[in-house]
Chain A
Amino acid sequence: MGGQDLITQLKDHFGDQIRDVNLEAIDPWIEVIPEGLIGICTFLRDDPQFGFDFLSCLSGVDYFQPDPKKAAKVDWEPHLELVYHLWSIANKTSLVLKVILPRWKDGVVDELPEVPSVAGIWRTADWHEREIYDLFGIRFSGHPDLRRILCPEDWVGYPLRKDYEMPVEYHGIRCR
């Protein structure tokens, strides 16, 4: 589907904001730097040639190996990954956008990494970003109403992180 020339067109349009491209994977994806996310997403949605007007899914993946033995064999260093699955209703094509984030903002534990929110571009991102903030602890700047959505408001910790420890008790209920 001519993915290659679309990507080259995208590259020369945005240049260094696209850090990496991988078309051989089962779902070809391009990696984008957080700062350029808003610009690229609006372009991808509005440009008729791309026309990605439908954000199918926004998911987070935590690349961190808790136990040291396996950590040695792993070929990536710990980071958080945001994966945007886009779909174009007109052209019936899909594209995957990835954003690599440090696990904690500039290394300080409990300091959540920042990403600009795309809720302005696709309204569905509003709830998806709240879920990722709730389960992964990634702060989305510019999000209309960033609160926990699945866990109770006063829950501590971010459950889907690999190094997450279940609290011993919550409001008197034993959890572990």
Chain B
Amino acid sequence: MSTVEKTQIVEFDVRTDEMLVNMGPQHPSTHGVLRLVLRTDGEIVSEVTPHLGYLHRCAEKIGENLTPRQWSPYTDRMDYLAGMSMNLGWSLCVEKLMNLHVTEKARHLRVIIAEMQRIASHLVGMGVYGLDLGSFSPFLYAFREREKILDLFEEVCGARLTYSYLTVGGATADFPPGWLEKCESFLEQFLPVIDEYHALLTTNAIFIKRCAGIGVISREMAISYGCTGPVLRGSGVDMDLRRDGEEWYTNMYDGYAFEVIVEKDGHYPNDHTYPAVPPEAILGDSWHRFYVRMLEVRQAVDLVHQAIDCYRKAEGSCGDPVKITEKLPKGEAYLETEAPRGQMGFYVVSDGSAIPWRVKARSSCFCNLSVTSDLCRNTLIADIPAIIGSLDIVMGEIDR
């Protein structure tokens, strides 16, 4: 058919040229040394390209010259806000390679420490997220509670941030006397504080307006990008390694009753009184990720209670760590554990000597961050901190 020349006036908006803006590596809300190059047209960001590597310390290259127990201090410097979970992941991976089962008491000790670390890590995540959206006070409330947990950890292993307490074979030391009572008293006074956080942020109208419907990650996108942890569960994917992970990891949690925090057919497991989901929130947006983290704190408190009872009943040693220069059997092993920010995987290849041939750490935030370039397309500048804050990334773990 003849293409009739039809002159039509095509209307363009007022043409403004684009601007390349560097958000980072020194920027108040990029959670460490992350550099985002934003292509903006006025306030609207048309494209985001993250640049990593500012905190790359070649941990994996060093891992090829150290024995596993010597390398564990490197693991808790990866996700420095959840050092215990990193140590736990690395020890379990090496124990899987050596097929070394720890004693019953050590298992419960590890659950207590891992879940307390999850509370501390989510508190930081929550506080800093409030900071990203401009309200300063939640940050201080969160850190007040986190200080108490750090004091408890300091009593256990002497360090507040980089512990290297849980090692291959169990833990370097048992709980000091009276520690469990202190832990329980902390948990008692912590419950009303959680409702404070809900009132302060989760149900705050401006917070909801800034988070709901922002940075929506669909179910398929989350799985395809390999997002894990609260980011995955925030998009409605029912996956928690503590329940459906590898058998070597899940038997650490058998005998514990807990519900995976994910929105199944419209509502979350309501075994506790939580504030309701606001109508504006779409499954998979920043608000849901934040909400999943807050509920996981509640879930972790229950888990610690159960673990303390089991620990009191179990007897025997709290696990005797292997020799520093223990010979590793030939072969390779890969194990993922449920760290607070997502699934932290460790892969070790050994050629039979005490020093592993290759060590690889699979970082959860590495995959969670890879979503940003798709997520932040034509959003506003003010949404970038909101989205990245909701992913709760730690640069140490990403750059290793």
- Chain A positions within 8 Å of B, measured between CB atoms, are 25-27, 53-57, 59, 61-62, 74, 83, 85, 87, 89, 92, 94, 96, 122-124, 126-127, 135, 148-152, 159-160
Contacts and interface: CB of A to CB of B under 8 A. Distances in A.
Contact of B333 (A27, A56, A150): A27
A152 B225 contact: no
B56 interface: yes
Contact of A25 (B332, B360, B362): B332
A170 B203 CA distance: 51
A62 B357 CA distance: 9
Interface of B: 52-53, 56, 58, 60-61, 96-97, 99, 221, 223-226, 237, 239, 244, 246, 331-334, 336, 343, 345, 347, 349, 351, 357-358, 360, 362, 366-367, 370, 399-400
A56 B244 contact: no
B358 A62 contact: yes
Contacts of B246: 94
Contacts of B99: 26
A159 to B, nearest CB: 6
A66 B61 CA distance: 15
A60 B370 CA distance: 20
B370 A127 contact: yes
A54 B332 CA distance: 21
A104 B237 CA distance: 41
13 contacts: A56-B226, A57-B336, A57-B360, A57-B362, A59-B360, A61-B358, A83-B332, A83-B334, A89-B239, A122-B226, A151-B56, A159-B58, A159-B61
Nearest to B351: A74
Contacts of B332: 25-27, 83
A119 to B, nearest CB: 10
A90 to B, nearest CB: 10
Contact of B357 (A61, A83, A123): A61
Contacts of A87: 336
B53 A150 contact: yes
Given A57-B334, A85-B347, A127 B223 contact: no
A31 to B, nearest CB: 13
Nearest to A55: B226
Contacts of A151: 53, 56
A66 B246 CA distance: 35
A123 B246 CA distance: 23
B100 to A, nearest CB: 12
Nearest to B96: A26
B370 A85 contact: no
B104 to A, nearest CB: 23
Contacts of B53: 148-152
B102 to A, nearest CB: 17
B180 to A, nearest CB: 34
Nearest to A62: B358
A85 B225 contact: no
Contacts of B399: 150
A59 B237 contact: no
A123 B52 contact: no
Contacts of B358: 59, 61-62
Contacts of B333: 26-27
Contacts of A127: 366-367, 370
B379 to A, nearest CB: 19
A123 B225 contact: yes
A55 B53 CA distance: 22
Given A53-B224, A150-B399, 8 more contacts: A57-B360, A61-B358, A85-B345, A89-B223, A124-B226, A124-B367, A126-B370, A152-B53
Contact of B347 (A57, A92, A124): A57
A148 B366 CA distance: 15
A171 B331 CA distance: 40
B344 to A, nearest CB: 11
B223 A54 contact: yes
Contacts of A89: 223, 237, 239
Nearest to B245: A92
Nearest to A126: B370
Contact of A123 (B237, B331, B336, B370): B370
A167 to B, nearest CB: 14
A159 B400 CA distance: 14
A4 to B, nearest CB: 18
A62 to B, nearest CB: 7
Contacts of A152: 53
Contacts of B351: 74
A61 B343 CA distance: 21
A56 B336 contact: yes
A8 B248 CA distance: 26
Given A25-B332, A122-B224, A124-B225, A56 B345 contact: yes
A106 B225 CA distance: 33
A54 B237 CA distance: 12
B109 to A, nearest CB: 25
